[in-house]
Structure 1
Amino acid sequence: MSPDDRRDAPAGDTYPYLRAATTGLRHHTRAQSATGQAQPSDRPHLDALHAHLTALHRLIDQAAEQTRPERPAAGRHLATAHARVWQAADSVHAAFHLVPAAADDGTCHPERLPEGPPFLTICQRHLAAVHAIRRKTTAADLAS
């Protein structure tokens, strides 16, 4: 498929992985609301949400880079969205560390996991996103 064909194709056909992710998020949201009981978010839920936000952050960054040369105004809007999604991911990361860890019954040994303790994976993902946002965004952009 050539780039011109992709421009004319519906978004669902061009980006099937994005459509699948959106469907997964909708399913998760419906499952949360179907219980009828408001439950506070736990660490796994916040970790999954952070993973989605950082993936969306990368996707918007790509879209902004590809759009900016041909359509500067649209590129600026995407750059703003890029910063806002980063702010959301940063807040979710902070919330993750404020939620208490699940009670350990003594059988879990995170030091034995090849990727390290579970709380470090969100931090590693967040650190990678920090590097990406600092390359392209100033502190003033993030504060505005």
Structure 2
Amino acid sequence: MTSPTHPDDAHPYLRAASAGVRHHARSQAPSATNPPRPGDRLHLDVLHAHLAALLQLLDRLADSTRPPHPAAGRHLATAHTRLWQATSEVHAAFHLLPSNTAAEAEASTCHPEQLPEGPPVLTICQRHLAAGHVVRRKTTPTDLRPHTTACVR
């Protein structure tokens, strides 16, 4: 496999995903012709899937960066933990939004014991539990507590 010749060619899928997120953020921005809309369950499910994919990417980057560059690896691991906290809040918000139907409301109650065979609406819960398993294997409860940010530069 050859290395990319131009820096823009290095991570085309990641750049495309970032462009998609930017486009969606612009289309969601309120304007005179586009009043603000509240999020819905579908929107949060897709956002959660994106965050879970970013969690996997950050986890791999932190693991591969840590041996040659320990300080940078620690920062990436911290970013992974903070992203997990955001992912967890999106999951919680999903369950607080009203559902479209009474059957969906009944089915979307989070029951981890039913997940492998659960209804399709619970894919967000399956994804969240899988991501949580990885996060809890690599972090301590102290790492997961709320934080304050201070720049050390």
TM-score band (shorter)?
0.7 to 0.9
Instruction: Tell me which amino acid in the other structure corresponds to 2:126.
Output: Q
CA-to-aligned-CA distance 1:107-126 (integer Å, 9 cap, x gap): xxx8xxxx853321000000
1:22 aligns with 2:18: yes
Equivalence for 1:119: 121
Deviates more, 1:34-43 or 1:131-140: 34-43
What RMSD, in angstroms, separates the aligned Cα atoms of the two structures? 2.1
Q: Distance in 1 between matches of 2:120 and 2:89?
A: 19
CA-to-aligned-CA distance 1:13-60 (integer Å, 9 cap, x gap): 222110110111111111112653111110000001101111101100
1:70 aligns with 2:68: yes
Deviation at 1:137, TM superposition (A): 0.6
Equivalence for 2:85: 87
Q: Distance in 1 between matches of 2:25 and 2:38?
A: 14
Q: Distance in 1 between matches of 2:6 and 2:141?
A: 37
Equivalence for 2:133: 131
Stretches of 4+ aligned residues off by more than 3 angstroms: none
SS in 1 for 2:101: coil
Larger RCO (CA under 8 A, 6+ residues apart): 1
Which TM-score applies when normalising by structure 1? 0.82
| Of 22, 46, 49, the match for 1:48 | 46
Structure 1 residues without counterparts, runs of 5 or longer: none
Which TM-score applies when normalising by structure 2? 0.78
Identity of aligned residues (%): 61
Structure 2 residues without counterparts, runs of 5 or longer: 108-116, 148-153
When you count helix as a share of all residues, which structure comes out higher? 1
Aligned length: 132
Deviation at 1:9, TM superposition (A): 5.5
Q: Distance in 1 between matches of 2:126 and 2:26?
A: 29
